[in-house]
Structure 1
Amino acid sequence: MSMWTRGATRVMCAAVAATGIAALADWALAQAAEPSADRGRALAVRLCANCHLVDGSGKSAPEGIGTFRGIANRPGQSADRISNVLMLPHMPMPDVQITRDEIQDILAYLETLRTNPDVAPLVKPGGQKPQYPSKT
């Protein structure tokens, strides 16, 4: 095999590998773009259950701290309001440093807890990510 052929083969292999990696990355992004109520519940259990009642586990939330079902069904509740609290938490809520995709997952979980079908959905169509709120 000539030196040119080996070089061309290496370039071709690298191009095929790069195409495969790009396709895999696109697939992974597409998978992450869809909010998941299951992932949202798992996050809520891991990050929020110390203070908020996340599911019907029988324990109660501390006084003055809403349950996830209560948060989901609060009058006037919106995805933007919840996203803002998660991105810029108020005291005594800790700053848990979650991603926009994780916020979408939590919103998807909260959507499963909503009981009023007449209110606007918390999860925006097309997997739109929330914008960071201003600190003013």
Structure 2
Amino acid sequence: MACLLRLLTAMTLLAPGVPAAAVELGNVAAGLEYAQKVCSACHAVEKDTVMRLSQVPSFQEVADTPGMTPRALVVWLRTSHPNMPDLIIAPDDMDNVVAYIMSLRTKK
């Protein structure tokens, strides 16, 4: 988890700007639906569910990562990951998934 936090911090600081509209819009229900179809093979996408793979963070853990913001999440999803397939997510789906993940946040 500490590695994820360091990676997110570095990517947020070094990444080109993401338009504010790209991280402020999104449909939470559509984001959940997309996550269930695309992400649930590896990630626990719903709140309080058991992890599918122990080394893969749940969406709850991602949402509760200290310093996590919608902008940081967009940057993280657009960046290649050694342990995750390179995803090409349509802009509307990205907005929806980010809205869904951020809706899980319990730490303020």
TM-score normalised by the chain length of structure 2 = 0.68
In 1: Cα distance, 2:25 partner to 2:46 partner: 22
TM superposition outliers: structure 1 runs of 4+ over 6 Å: none
Cα distance, 1:51 vs structure 2:
0.9
Question: Which residue number corresponds to residue 102 of structure 1?
Answer: 93
Note the C-alpha offset of 1:53.
0.4
**Other-structure match for 2:8:** none
1:41-89, CA deviations, whole angstroms, 9 ceiling, x for partnerless residues? 0111111111110115844231221101110011111222211222223
Q: Which residue of 2 aligns with 1:18?
A: none
The one-character-per-residue Cα deviations of 1:85-130 (angstroms, maximum 9, x if unpaired) are 22223122112211222111011111221113x3xxxxxxxxxxxx
Where 1:77 maps in the other structure, the secondary structure is: coil
Q: Which has the larger radius of gyration?
A: 1
Unaligned runs of 5+ in 2: 1-23
Report if the CA contact (8 A) 1:47-1:96 is conserved: no
Give the CA RMSD over aligned residues.
Answer: 2.0
Q: Give the match for residue 41 of structure 1.
A: 32
- Counterpart CA distance in 1 for 2:50 and 2:101 is 18
> Under a length normalisation based on structure 1, what TM-score does the superposition of the two structures give?
0.55
Runs of at least 5 residues in structure 1 that lack an aligned partner in the other structure: 1-32, 119-136
Partner of 1:131: none
Instruction: Report what 1:28 is aligned to.
Output: none
Tell me which amino acid in the other structure corresponds to 1:39: A
2:45–2:60 contact (8 Å) kept in structure 1: yes
Tell whether the 8 Å contact from 2:63 to 2:105 is kept in structure 1 after alignment.
Answer: yes
Identity over aligned residues, as a percent? 26
